Structure 1
Amino acid sequence: MIQRLANTLSRWSERWIPDPFVIAVLLTFVTMAVVWLVQGVDPITAVGQWGGRLNGDELYPNERGFWSLLTFAMQMCLTLVTGHALASAPAVRRGIAGLVDRVRTPRGAIVATALVAMLTALLNWALGLVAGALMARAMGESARRRGIRVHYPLLGAAGYAGLLIWHGGLSGSAPLKVTTADQLASVLPKGMEVAPIPLSDTLGSGLNLAVNVGLLVLVPLLLVLMSPKPEDAKPAPELTRADDAGAADAARAHVLDRSRLLGVVVAALALGYVVMLVARTGLEQLDLNTVNLFFLGLGILLHGALIRYVEAVTDGARACAGVILQFPFYAGIMGMMALSGLVGEIAHAIGEHASATSFGPLTFLAAGLVNLFVPSGGGQFAIQGPIVIEAARELHVPLGKAVMAFCYGDQWTNMLQPFWALPLLGITQLRAGQLIGYSATLMLLVAPVFIVALLVF
């Protein structure tokens, strides 16, 4: 039954799911229609909110819409290209090959890929995203080479599974945002007094531990059950590699371009800073910039010569087109939803109709819905978080539980929203339609884990 459902959704998504950029454009017009119908925002005002600096007669001095995610877009491009370059380093390729070559069965390949993606995502979401993508790519290539009939799109979904668990891990933006008074003040409106919520009430709670253990057990099992018959499995295609294509150019390069000593010095600079920072702040404060710098330093070190690293980054940069093009459109959607008050309206509706028992599941569902339009955990919490916290206080729901209900909804619909899959699609060279059918099936099947946990704890 699970296999039949997954195959049906996969066939449907491959046929009907358009390019992720088309999805972003369609969601833009859907959001315009919704804010008009629900909030009474006329199309002209909605266009101003989409652009970000106009809201009716108001003119904002800073960007709140289309161009508000430029920094984040650059961070994601660096995540993609540094991860891609790291994957193409000869030492990494040999190391991953040694690991994946130990896997002898299609089921083992899927389980190993999912666990690597999920466990690393619990440490850091960006690390999990890149590690899952690299593992899926390497596992697919190894399986094809050895004649193991594993379905490559399903391996891609397994590599994406880290985004289903990340917000309950050490890089969870919402739990980290509520741990100190200063962090809370940056999210809550002026005059709203809330005591800091310790990590023991969120990430370290029995609720979160139960959910994470449940996902780590259930997700690999469900992915295995989705596997098509061996004769229907699509192997990984021949994937392009930067170091093969650039070998001749590297051989003709200037002596400084080929200098391993210069590469080691630059790598030591980057990695030394990362070590110093982590020693001072700990892993729980690991951010995207630090992860990117770690990938950059390690990639340069393993490539040796700087010219080889440049070739690898140049090859990986081709996959940044989707990120560069789509991030501004999602920023515009965020601008419309925030400035029109639509997110607040959704959260208020949940609070008005919820009881202390139903608050958790309803907040989970509301966060999942909003995440389809605002696919940024931190950005979404800045909009929705204050209302969730206020409603939880009115219903006497523990604030830690309310925050985690939001987190679970945010990560849940990542499986349906291709926004975060862009780096993985670039590394694995899969299409969104090949991935979404399986990840959407996974999303539907794990929903009871979140809902039951929120009802029990």
Structure 2
Amino acid sequence: MRRFGNLLAAFSTRWVPDAFVFAIFLTVLVFGLALGLTDRTPLELVGDWYGGFWNLLQFGMQMTLVLVTGYALASSPPARRAITWVAGRTRGPLSAVGVTALGAALLGTLHWGLGLIAGALLAVEVARSCRERGIRVHFPLVAAGGYVGLMVWHSGLSGSAPLLVNTPGHFLEERIGLIPLSETILQPFNLVFLAAMLIGAPLLLMSMHPRAEDSEEIESHDDDHAGDTDDGSGGAGGGGGVRTATARRELSPAQRLMHSRLLVYPVVAVGLVYLVPALVVDGVVGMDINLLNFTFLIAGLGLHGTLAGYSAAAAEGARNAGAVIVQFPFYAGIMGIMASSGLLEVVTEAFVSVATPFSYPFWALTSAALVNFAVPSGGGQWAVQGPVVIGATESLGIDPGVGVMAVAMGDQLTNGIQPFWALPLLALTRLRAGSVLGYSAVVMLFAFVVASLCITFLT
């Protein structure tokens, strides 16, 4: 496994391009497929591309805020101490990889946003802690462990499609009604898949760790964190770093406002007035991306304690958001081509044409895995692929909950080699896509085999 992992990592490092190049390549590929498989003209496809180009602006801003508020929360002194404590429990390179992968997978099962941001920050902190203690750990492999949460998230409590079909008023309610979670994420085939991933993914990554002399350690600039102050008062609006009482007295009245806790606590209190009922009533299952960002924001403000400390941490997080902001419109354009040209229906129906009631869950999962390259949004993919899949389950006499989970599970699998969701992790670790995706590709192959067996034989 070490040789296999090193071989794939070397290949992906050399041949897998930057995530932005990958987005452009996918655009050209989808454009060519739509031109050959549909009746759209080149000019019409350009219109489809531009028509979808800005459709992810809201989602792109939401994802940017996930990155910024998640980073600010995780870099607060209490959260940093917790992450440091977990990182300090590692005793060697294998445990470093295993702890990171297991932590990211558990967080991703709880909520995809937590798995995405906390998994990346845990990877950075584990690698930094190991370097300080003289433990040679291969940082790209640890970073791949921090990405495991994105290969299990749709099978967890925040899965877009399972939650949507259990929400009154969803767009397919007239056809399938409400499908409770007991018929989707709580089905035995999904629970067995999750258990296999929680155990197998960390062990698989651990088995691929190279020899100490071949390990690529984290570089010194990768663990520089803004706003790491003992009192949470460093940062914008009057200087950063730890401020002594004397230094604080030297601030102007305007600067003192940024370092005053009196401005933060009322905001946190008002936020909790909304958050507590929302989280108690709906819990994690009812959390959407807006509530996640609001939770991150209020918790981050409370843990930093001052506007200056939070501003410094948020500014550092925003430095890492450039790739997300620039590349999301290109993926929105790909989605526009897929949806408007009819290419998505062509791909999905091609799988349906060769399926039987026994084999269809596997083919639906496989088609969803392929479509994820062009429509890398769980909710967006269900919106465009869901009607076709539900139509197939109706004609083949299959439980619609199985069709929902086939799309959900297939969607998450190819995140292992799709840089779209890896962008925040790559930004926070400052690694190239190729250095990480070779290892995550091995986990994806394992996950695909397990998911295929589970959804075929345990439904």
Shorter-normalised TM-score: what interval? over 0.9
Q: Which residue of 2 aligns with 1:355?
A: 356
Deviation per residue, 1:2-30 (Å, 9 max, x gap): 22221111111112222211111111111
Structure 1 residue 363 displacement after superposition: 0.8
Amino acid of the residue matched to residue 204 of structure 2?
L
Structure 1 residue 148 displacement after superposition: 1.2
CA contact (8 A) 1:175 1:404 kept: yes
TM-score by structure 2 length? 0.92
Structure 1 residue 235 displacement after superposition: 1.3
Deviation per residue, 1:315-335 (Å, 9 max, x gap): 211111101101111001000
Q: Distance in 1 between matches of 2:328 and 2:281?
A: 32
Q: Distance in 2 between matches of 1:82 and 1:425?
A: 17
Q: Which residue of 1 aligns with 2:263?
A: 262
Gaps of 5+ in 1: 53-64
Identify which range, 107-116 or 409-418, moves more after superposition: 107-116
Per the alignment, in what secondary structure is the counterpart of residue 256 of structure 1?
Answer: helix
Q: Which residue of 2 aligns with 1:315?
A: 316
Q: Distance in 2 between matches of 1:236 and 1:137?
A: 8
Q: Distance in 2 between matches of 1:181 and 1:393?
A: 21
Aligned residue pairs total: 439
Structure 1 residue 91 displacement after superposition: 2.5
Q: Distance in 2 between matches of 1:314 and 1:38?
A: 46
Amino acid of the residue matched to residue 427 of structure 2?
G
Q: Which residue of 2 aligns with 1:249?
A: 239
Per the alignment, in what secondary structure is the counterpart of residue 158 of structure 2?
Answer: coil
1:371 equivalenced with 2:372 (yes/no): yes
Q: Which residue of 1 aligns with 2:444?
A: 443
Q: Which residue of 1 aligns with 2:331?
A: 330
Structure 1 residue 267 displacement after superposition: 2.5
Q: Which residue of 2 aligns with 1:74?
A: 61
Identify which range, 383-392 or 262-271, moves more after superposition: 262-271
Q: Distance in 1 between matches of 2:17 and 2:447?
A: 25
Deviation per residue, 1:138-185 (Å, 9 max, x gap): 1111011111111111111111000111101111111112124511xx
Amino acid of the residue matched to residue 451 of structure 1?
S
Deviation per residue, 1:286-322 (Å, 9 max, x gap): 1111111111112122222201211111121111110
Deviation per residue, 1:39-87 (Å, 9 max, x gap): 13221100000111xxxxxxxxxxxx00011111011111111122223
Deviation per residue, 1:404-427 (Å, 9 max, x gap): 111111000000101011111222
Q: Which residue of 2 aligns with 1:198?
A: 180
Q: Distance in 2 between matches of 1:94 and 1:175?
A: 35
Deviation per residue, 1:217-242 (Å, 9 max, x gap): 11111111111112111111122221
Per the alignment, in what secondary structure is the counterpart of residue 204 of structure 1?
Answer: coil
Q: Distance in 1 between matches of 2:200 and 2:25?
A: 33
Amino acid of the residue matched to residue 30 of structure 1?
L
Q: Distance in 1 between matches of 2:316 and 2:125?
A: 17
Q: Distance in 2 between matches of 1:237 and 1:219?
A: 26
Q: Which residue of 2 aligns with 1:4?
A: 3
1:431 to 1:187, Cα distance in 2 relative to 1, 3 A: farther
1:7 to 1:271, Cα distance in 2 relative to 1, 3 A: farther
Identify which range, 333-342 or 9-18, moves more after superposition: 9-18
Q: Which residue of 2 aligns with 1:19?
A: 18
Deviation per residue, 1:108-142 (Å, 9 max, x gap): 11111111111111111111111211211111110
Amino acid of the residue matched to residue 150 of structure 1?
V
Q: Distance in 2 between matches of 1:131 and 1:206?
A: 28
CA RMSD of aligned residues (A): 1.6
Q: Distance in 2 between matches of 1:227 and 1:271?
A: 44
User: Which of residues 237, 250, 256 in structure 1 aligns to 2:219?
Assistant: 237
TM-score by structure 1 length? 0.93
Q: Which residue of 1 aligns with 2:145?
A: 158
Q: Which residue of 2 aligns with 1:57?
A: none
Q: Which residue of 1 aligns with 2:42?
A: 43
Per the alignment, in what secondary structure is the counterpart of residue 147 of structure 1?
Answer: coil
Q: Which residue of 1 aligns with 2:72?
A: 85
User: Which of residues 97, 102, 106 in structure 2 aligns to 1:115?
Assistant: 102
Q: Distance in 2 between matches of 1:430 and 1:86?
A: 22
Sequence identity percentage: 46
Q: Distance in 2 between matches of 1:199 and 1:298?
A: 29
CA contact (8 A) 1:107 1:224 kept: yes
Structure 1 residue 187 displacement after superposition: 4.4
Structure 1 residue 281 displacement after superposition: 2.1
Amino acid of the residue matched to residue 350 of structure 2?
A
Q: Which residue of 1 aligns with 2:117?
A: 130
Q: Distance in 1 between matches of 2:20 and 2:100?
A: 27
Per the alignment, in what secondary structure is the counterpart of residue 78 of structure 1?
Answer: helix
Q: Which residue of 2 aligns with 1:167?
A: 154
Amino acid of the residue matched to residue 48 of structure 1?
G
CA contact (8 A) 1:361 1:451 kept: yes
Per the alignment, in what secondary structure is the counterpart of residue 262 of structure 2?
Answer: helix
Structure 1 residue 445 displacement after superposition: 2.4
Structure 1 residue 194 displacement after superposition: 2.2
Superposed, 1:385-400 pairs within 5 Å as 385-400=386-401
Amino acid of the residue matched to residue 9 of structure 1?
L
Q: Which residue of 1 aligns with 2:248?
A: none
CA contact (8 A) 1:271 1:293 kept: no
Per the alignment, in what secondary structure is the counterpart of residue 193 of structure 1?
Answer: helix
Per the alignment, in what secondary structure is the counterpart of residue 243 of structure 1?
Answer: coil
